[in-house]
Amino acid sequence: MLASTKLPGIVEKGTLNGTIHFRSTATMTKRILILMALSSLLWANATQAGNDRQPLAEISQAVERFLEDHFSTENDSKVRITVSPLDPRLNLAACDQPLSVNAGDGQPRHGGRLTAQVRCDGRAPWRIYVPARIEQLRPVVVARETLNRGEVIQAGQLAQVEHDINSALRGYHTDPAELVGMVATRQINANSVITPADVAREQIIRRGDRVTLVSENRGFSVSARGEALTAAGVGDRLRVRNLNSQRIVEGIVQSRDEVRISMP
């Protein structure tokens, strides 16, 4: 019977068909070192690939800065910009030049939406389109309570709130005083933005009313009686038939019974 002897530097692996197999510890150490070197190389490549990727946050920040500079505030309005989140799966090469941002004609579409183009002109060029929303916030006039059609508007029924005027597609008013005494042309719900189409001057003259036509020129005035052909309020233009000459003239309503016309 052959005795098994452990030699220095030799590890017994096992037996197969009665044959003893040995593996050198030096060989195993070498393989371990090779595996460690490969792992380090793969980690370094992964890290380098991450460093070569364009940070998406920098793209969003570039768009936001561009739009903030582009949309200067006017009067008492202020701008609020929201850049749409970018797809995290985007894999753009890191740009070695400052990012270039362009917004076409720079005019937002309905609702203040706009698409900006971000471009890299570096060694690895690329281009991407980024949606954004621009809100121009300004105090506008709203109804403090529900206003019924035909109701004459009072100062206490109005309020001012900050509103995005880019979404006020039907227009808006900024001064409550200019609406006092006007008439609601339809029902206006509480807290609704009051648009130019929602109000009209109170019609103090009705069709068929008798009015006085007044014309002043070079220090003298001429007056005549006339018949209103339409309804109108103060400041409105009104067509009137001169009852003396039967001619139809047009003038500006001054009061309930006076219309001022211009002499030729």
CATH number at residue 158: 3.90.1210.10
User: Tens of pLDDT along 146-157?
Assistant: 999 999 999 999
What is the Cα–Cα distance from 68 to 246, expressed in whole angstroms?
A: 61
Q: Of 83, 106, 136, which closes a domain?
A: 136
Q: Do residues 146 and 121 both lie within one domain?
A: no
Which residue in 101, 92, 104, 106 sits closest to 119, CA to CA?
Answer: 101
Q: Of 117, 136, 155, which closes a domain?
A: 136
User: Tens of pLDDT along 175-200?
Assistant: 999 999 899 999 999 999 999 999 99
* Per-residue confidence (pLDDT) for residue 90, from 0 to 100: 93
Q: Do residues 188 and 251 both lie within one domain?
A: no
Element (H, E) at 30: helix 25-51
What is the Cα–Cα distance from 169 to 15, expressed in whole angstroms?
A: 88
Report yes or no on 7 lying in a domain.
Answer: no
Higher pLDDT, 44 or 28: 28
Q: Do residues 130 and 147 both lie within one domain?
A: no
Higher pLDDT, 47 or 36: 36
The answer to whether the CB of 100 falls within 8 A of the CB of 118 is yes
Evaluate if residue 136 carries a pLDDT over 90.
Answer: no
* Number of structural domains in the chain: 3
Neighbours of 173 (CB within 10 A): 20
123, two tokens: 């060694």
55, two tokens: 């940070």
Report yes or no on 12 lying in a domain.
Answer: no
* Per-residue confidence (pLDDT) for residue 9, from 0 to 100: 41
Report yes or no on 156 lying in a domain.
Answer: yes
Evaluate if residue 203 carries a pLDDT over 90.
Answer: no
Neighbours of 136 (CB within 10 A): 19
Report yes or no on 10 lying in a domain.
Answer: no
Mean predicted confidence (pLDDT) in 54-65: 95
DSSP designation for 67: H
What is the Cα–Cα distance from 145 to 192, expressed in whole angstroms?
A: 9
What global pTM score does this model have? 0.57
Is beta strand 232-233 parallel, antiparallel or unpaired with respect to 203-205? antiparallel
What is the Cα–Cα distance from 35 to 165, expressed in whole angstroms?
A: 64
Higher pLDDT, 8 or 105: 105
Give the lowest-confidence range in 24-28, 136-140, 162-166.
Answer: 24-28
Report yes or no on 84 lying in a domain.
Answer: yes
* Per-residue confidence (pLDDT) for residue 233, from 0 to 100: 87
Residue-averaged pLDDT of the chain:
82
Mean predicted confidence (pLDDT) in 169-179: 94
Q: Do residues 128 and 164 both lie within one domain?
A: no
* Per-residue confidence (pLDDT) for residue 43, from 0 to 100: 47
Which residues constitute the domain of residue 249? 203-261
- The strand ranges marked E within the chain are 10-16, 19-24, 78-83, 100-102, 113-120, 126-143, 158-164, 182-184, 199-201, 203-205, 210-217, 220-228, 232-233, 237-242, 248-255, 258-261
What is the Cα–Cα distance from 114 to 162, expressed in whole angstroms?
A: 22
**pLDDT tier at 50, thresholds 50, 70, 90:** very low
Q: Of 181, 201, 221, which closes a domain?
A: 201
User: Tens of pLDDT along 230-261?
Assistant: 999 888 899 999 999 999 999 999 998 999 99
Higher pLDDT, 83 or 30: 83
The answer to whether the CB of 63 falls within 8 A of the CB of 89 is no
Q: Do residues 92 and 132 both lie within one domain?
A: yes
**pLDDT tier at 101, thresholds 50, 70, 90:** very high
SS3 161: strand
Higher pLDDT, 74 or 45: 74
What is the Cα–Cα distance from 90 to 99, expressed in whole angstroms?
A: 16
The answer to whether the CB of 173 falls within 8 A of the CB of 179 is yes
